[in-house]
Amino acid sequence: MKKWILGLPVAVLGATIAPVVNAHFKLLEPASWLVEDDKGDPQKLAPCGGVLANPGTPTNATTAVTGGQKLKIVVEETVFHPGHYRIALARKRNLLPADPSVKMHATEKGPRSLSAEIAKNPRPPLLVDGLWPHTEKPAGKWETEITVPNITCEGCQLQVIEFMAEHPGVREGGFSYHHCAVLNIKPDPAKPAEDARWK
């Protein structure tokens, strides 16, 4: 089977239960579909951010890409929490995957998330899973590259989520925080089309 994504990091720079410090992150590249504050908020609601009290302000940003080419993904974790990231792509927002299922464990502070399901061989709409696993605060930004599927897709939804381990969960976002970017993909006619994978 043709390998169509590269999910390894290419550079590392550098009802609600009792509240704890929540992880937050900003999507720096490609441009986020929502205006983000200095922490990356609002980002709780699946699939693409916002909160119940504030769905967020659209940026109307789009990123033009060519199918079969590399796309740089850059995030900055603004409030640390152990966990990992996942990237998905869908033609429409309602086709993005649900947040991963989570295993819990008992702690002195009550139940906390232990781990989340990670797709060993991601298939559409997942591009890469288990990205940037970490148990300590990152020294800087996370970067990776994905290979964009060779399809025609105006307004494709690129989703980046962070799973938070050792967390009680939040009413609006469970154990993941969410950001999306809007991609306008034009296929490369010199490369095989992949439309069959992207219904």
pLDDT at residue 173 is higher than 60: yes
Cα–Cα dist 28/159, whole Å: 13
Q: Average pLDDT, stretch 46-74?
A: 96
Phi-psi region of 190 (alpha: psi -120 to 50; beta: other; left: phi over 0): alpha
pLDDT at residue 51 is higher than 90: yes
What percent of the chain lies above the pLDDT cut of 70? Answer: 88
Q: Which of 8-12, 21-25, 32-36 is the most confident on average?
A: 32-36
Q: Which residues contact 142 (CB under 8 A, 6 or more apart)?
A: 9, 12, 13, 74, 75, 76, 77, 85, 131, 132
Lookup result for tokens 């720096």: 28
Residues 78, 145 contacting (CB under 8 angstroms): no
Cα–Cα dist 142/183, whole Å: 20
pLDDT at residue 4 is higher than 80: no
**pLDDT tens digits, 98-140:** 999 999 999 999 999 999 999 999 999 999 999 999 999 888 8
Q: Which letter does DSSP use for residue 47 in this model?
A: T
Give the per-residue pLDDT at 3. Answer: 37
**pLDDT tens digits, 141-162:** 999 999 999 999 999 999 999 9
Domains of the chain: 9-13+21-197 (2.70.50)
State the CB neighbour count (10 A cutoff) for residue 76. Answer: 17
Residues 89, 97 contacting (CB under 8 angstroms): no
